[in-house]
Amino acid sequence: MRIGIDFGTSYSAAAVFRNDRVEKIRFAAGDQFRTAVYFPEAVPNMDEFQMTPEIERDFERILRQDRRQATKAFVTATARWQEAMKLRDENARNRALALLTEPKAPDDNDLRKMALRVARQHWREEQVRTASVAEVDTSRAVFGDDAIDDYLDAGTGILIQSPKSMLGFDLNATGRARILNVVGHILEHIRLTATKQLGSAVHKAVIGRPVEFRSSLGPAGTEQARALMTEAAIKAGYDDDIEFLEEPVAASHDFHRKCEERTKTLVVDVGGGTTDFAFVELGGSRKPNVIKARGFPMGGTDVDLDLGQQVMPLFGRDLDGGAPAHHYVDALSIHNPERQRQFAKRDYKQEEEPFLSRLRALQRTGNTQKTARLIEQAKVELSTEDRRRIALGFIEKRLAATVDQASLLDASDRLRFNLEKELDKLLAEIGCSPDAVFVTGGMSRSPYLIEILKRKFPNARRVRGNASFAVVNGLALYAAG
């Protein structure tokens, strides 16, 4: 028995065709799960802490900063105390003094102890961030939204989100081993869950893939991604005859089964990490005939990132003399562990308040994930609502941002521009227009994408496929032969 696997950037699903119907594999969260895995980790042993030259520099930096702040606070408190003491009316003077704390000169020994505690905490957080998957307890791996929740609750361990988006990039030996381990665990989770539900061992699969993976290597990146996926699948217990099917082509099989007459169909699959097209003759008794497929490496996660930048002015973005703009991109690049590490270890002591405190709060373990998650939820809700409030009370009490339809339209500029450009290229290559446009993928719910398709193909029949499951449905049908 072969199953179909939609290994997505944002969500993953699996299905099998049996008893003349597509049967979804049921995971803890339902018919799909967020493509995320959390590996719990023991809290680093603080007895292993040693004052290295790097930690010494961190300690001295913290101490200098604390001395400046303590001295400034002492001077301010002394001035206020003296002003209160000058009041001639005794009752007024006593009331004013009751609201103040008598100034106390900073004790350097206390400041040194506090700075050392902070330096030790920085060391602990760095141990957590730099641990490899091989160093954690992989037997207790947690998947999906539960992975994110457990990571945020624990504040330790390793959380990997959207590993698919890293498969096509230049990887060193350590990065390659890590991505193989992570993808292997997710594919094994799918296989074991399917085996339990179906009542027989699952070792064969057809896996969906984008036409073009996100990559820093050009076409070679897509080949590398396929090779890594194959190796990870074999490690996860699948047979070595793994087959891959382009995701828009897979979705065409879902529409083909419902289409009685032969139809020239443009399949548009706008997913989390990529946008893919396939021009297919389908329907009727003959098998689908794929005329052309193409895609580009951009999708819903890019809109999330751009929408998030409209929240970042709350953290000082766009201020003259403030942190560089790319720091704010790093903060929300939760699918890129290296960019997250870079953001977490930066020192923003030159920033003005309240932005300094907010940036430091954002740097705390889990807070970039919380922020990105709220932004993604707001994007989804803006598909049906005019505006959404993003509450950031975990950063600062009562802190919030508001995004609306105009915000979403701005955030989708790059995606909309590339969508139109790539559609024009595809139609120029084919030389004819479709009779039908079949739309799927998480971003297919967005009204502005539907408007583009209406404008470009006014005479075509528009069919909204299942945004979450058209690809996996088609993979299951194809896997059944």
Amino acid present at 404: D
Model-level pTM?
Answer: 0.79
Buried residues in 44-68 as b, exposed as e (16+ CB within 10 A): beeeeeeeeeebeebbeebbeebee
Per-residue 3-state assignment (H helix, E strand, C coil) for 49-86: CCCCHHHHHHHHHHHHHHHHHHHHHHHHHHHHHHHHHC
pLDDT score for 133: 53
Which pLDDT band holds residue 119 (cuts at 50, 70, 90)?
confident
Is the pLDDT assigned to residue 267 strictly greater than 90? yes
Structure confidence by residue, pLDDT tens digits, 49-82: 788 888 888 888 888 988 888 888 889 889 988 9
CB–CB of 217/211 below 8 Å? no
Q: What angle do helix axes 325-332 and 300-309 make, rounded to 10 degrees?
A: 130
What span, in angstroms and rounded, lies between the C-alpha atoms of 178 and 290? 35
Q: DSSP letter at 277?
A: E
Which pLDDT band holds residue 384 (cuts at 50, 70, 90)?
confident
316 Cβ neighbours under 8 A, 6+ residues apart: 322, 323, 351, 352, 355, 358, 359
Q: Token pair of 24, please?
A: 């979804």
pLDDT score for 319: 86
Amino acid present at 104: K
The CA-atom distances, in angstroms, between 72 and each of 102, 317, 359 are: 15, 26, 21
What span, in angstroms and rounded, lies between the C-alpha atoms of 183 and 236? 9
H/E run at residue 295: strand 289-296
Which pLDDT band holds residue 129 (cuts at 50, 70, 90)?
low
Structure confidence by residue, pLDDT tens digits, 186-233: 999 999 999 999 999 999 999 999 999 999 898 999 999 999 999 999
Mean pLDDT computed over every residue of the chain: 91
33-34/36-39 β-pairing: unpaired
Structure confidence by residue, pLDDT tens digits, 287-327: 999 999 999 999 999 999 999 999 999 999 988 888 999 99
436-440/289-296 β-pairing: unpaired
Q: Token pair of 156, please?
A: 């330790």
